[in-house]
Amino acid sequence: MVSQVLGIETLWNRIIAYEGETFTQKKNQEFTFIVKGNSIVPSTTNWNIPKSSFEKALEYVPLKKVSVIRRVCQGPSYVYAIMMDQRIRNGFW
């Protein structure tokens, strides 16, 4: 199970490291994000997406499609875009 190999703190630190960088959603909409405490705020919305959403999604990697995590996390299309980005995955899934 990937979540046992790559914990949420390691994942979260990777996400923090790419704050302000451009990510692309599945439908090719680009966005950046800022980190606010234990949440991120994407540039294309004012939603706070909590760290816990990434922790929940970590149980499902590799993510085949957004719908896999739609019911378990907030902002699933943003979570998917970030978690499936090569900079974040870094060969783990």
Q: What is the pLDDT of residues 40-69, one digit of tens each?
A: 999 999 999 999 999 999 999 999 999 999
The beta-strand segments (E) located in the chain are: 23-24, 30-31, 33-36, 39-42, 49-50
pLDDT of 92 > 60? The answer is yes
Residue range 78-85: average pLDDT? 98
**How many whole angstroms separate alpha carbon 93 and alpha carbon 62?**
5
Q: pTM for the whole thing?
A: 0.91
Tell me how far CA of residue 67 lies from CA of 35, 49, 60, 72, in angstroms: 24, 17, 11, 10
pLDDT of 93 > 90? The answer is no
Domain span including residue 83: 2-89
Domain count, the chain: 1
